[in-house]
Structure 1
Amino acid sequence: MSRAQPEQQAPPVQRLRIRYAKRGRMRFTSHRDVSRAVERAVFRARIPMAYSSGFHPHPRISYAGASPTGAATESEYVELALAEVREADAVGTALDEALPEGLDVVAVVDSATSRSGSLSDLLTGSRWRIETRQDPAEGAAEAVAAFLATDSVEVERMTKKGLRTFDCRGAVVTMAIDDAGAIDLLLEHAVPAVRPDDVLTGLRQATGWAPPANALLTRLAQGVLDRAQETLGDPLSPR
């Protein structure tokens, strides 16, 4: 007896791109838990989602460039595929009200009016602020200068595929100490991905200096990297 074929869902009629922040205690929330919170919020806000086809349909929600657990961020991105056309700001307001405190909608645009390309293609760099919690950050400027003068700094990190060794220096576009003693870091999204904590590990290995373990990592921006100009383009900007 042949198995029944799954129902084919209609394609999305609109895609909304959303920038959101992860603040306060929510920075300790894993990406999986954030994903669940977004799905619950979409349901509570009664957003008319498009669903995937197959035996187990699920709402079409796409994430890109998720930050590591423990890092605060002002620049996370998610795309919602809708079954009905809705006004972007109204969806953003409803979703923000349904999300838990600390997950905050910052901006919403229709993908049809924003930069072309997938979200992943538009997120090629990140700007980070690393609060050293040292006042002043003694030896920090000298350590950063020494790190930048190094061609390659290999670090190790445990990944899903086991222990990986990779160069963290190549992904660093700029790094400097600001007036408050925090590290301003511009990173290129490389393969394998280089995270701010990898850079701190490399900084310690190369120079002997690094912030304490309780340093606060915050992603300030994420977007299209222009390495020559050392800038990030807004992925939600108009075409």
Structure 2
Amino acid sequence: MARVRPGEAANPAPPTVQRIRVRFAKRGRLRFLSHRDIARSVERAVRRAGVPVAHSHGFSPHPRISWLGAAPTGAASEAEYLEIGLTREVDPDMLVAELDAVLPDGLDVLTAVVAEPPPLAERINASRWRIELPGVAAAELAAAVEALLARERVVVERMTPSGRREVDVRAGLASAAVTATDGSSPSSTAGTVADCAILTAVVRQMTPAVRPDDVLGALDVVAGFRPPVPAKVTRLAQGLLDDRGRLAEPFDPDRVTTRS
């Protein structure tokens, strides 16, 4: 066995010459996959597609794939992000097509760009969530949201691996709006019940992160609001939050390819 010289890595790997940022969706039944399951699926797809992924050094090299802000298990998403380090330059459009072809239906590659400064983490500080609540009156939900937005602080408790933690939901909630299934605003007429009330919430990234279930928990705290069935949650977008409450697309202005 060759002796490793001082300052040299054991089992050196080819250098990373390009980084590609990828946006993908988690849809349908695959929203119930854990982040670890998704990571394994992507790593397997990278191998099957023959992507020249870079690896870490050492005796147990790992593919250089980094992740940003994975959606919770059970939540769908149209805006999940990862970054892949490559040992040679690759056309992002080709990478999108090849990865999407070998990933299971429900993990759908949407967009890829060549990574440019600043880091992806500095381009994202908030998420937009769609929370569908079947059997809930839009007017009832709107009243609960109004009560939440009127508060300066609303704390809920969450169980974590390190124990219970308090989360200030109001501090993380940038905006919230209620619509019915037809996209109209909730009616002020008493007794009007939509088939499905929809809450669209923009939530800032903070520590600990405010999740959609935390928002529903805060509605229970301030208004006793409890949906009759589990909510269907989808992350619609991630990006930088501006003064008007809009999210800037993280890949702009360096977008190179998009798939619908």
Query: Which residue pairs with 2:140 in the alignment?
Result: 139
For residue 75 of structure 1, the aligned residue among 54, 74, 79 is 79
Measured against aligned partners, the alpha-carbon deviations of 1:101-140 in whole angstroms (never above 9, x if no partner) come to 100001011113xxx2222222210000000112533511
Percent identity over paired residues: 47
Q: What is the CA-CA distance between 1:54 and the residue it aligns to?
A: 1.3
Query: Which of 39, 43, 57 is the equivalent residue of 2:43?
Result: 39
Q: Which moved more, 1:38-47 or 1:128-137?
A: 128-137
Say whether 1:229 aligns with 2:228: no
Q: Give the direction of change, closer, same or farther, for the CA distance of 1:81–1:2 in structure 2 (3 Å limit).
A: closer
Question: Which structure 1 segments of 5+ residues have no match?
Answer: none
Match of 1:214 in 2: 230
Task: State which structure, 1 or 2, has the greater radius of gyration over its C-alpha atoms.
Answer: 2
1:11 and 1:46 mapped to 2: Cα distance? 17
Q: What is the match of residue 173 of structure 2?
A: 172
Q: Distance in 1 between matches of 2:40 and 2:231?
A: 27
Distance 1:141 1:90 in 2: 45
1:96 aligned residue: 100
RMSD of aligned C-alpha atoms? Answer: 1.7
Deviation at 1:3, TM superposition (A): 7.1
How far is 1:158 from its partner? 1.0
1:59 aligns with 2:63: yes
Number of residue pairs aligned between Structure 1 and Structure 2 = 235
Q: CA deviation at 1:223?
A: 1.0
Say if 1:97 and 1:189 are closer, same or farther in 2 by CA, change over 3 A. Answer: same
* Distance of aligned partners of 1:155 and 1:135 in 2 relative to their CA distance in 1, 3 Å threshold: closer
Are 1:12 and 1:83, in contact at CA under 8 Å, matched by a contact in 2?
Answer: yes
CA contact (8 A) 1:140 1:210 kept: no
**Structure 1 length-normalised TM:** 0.94
- Aligned match for 1:238, one of 253, 256, 259: 253
Moved more, 183-192 or 126-135: 126-135
AA partner of residue 104 (structure 1):
D
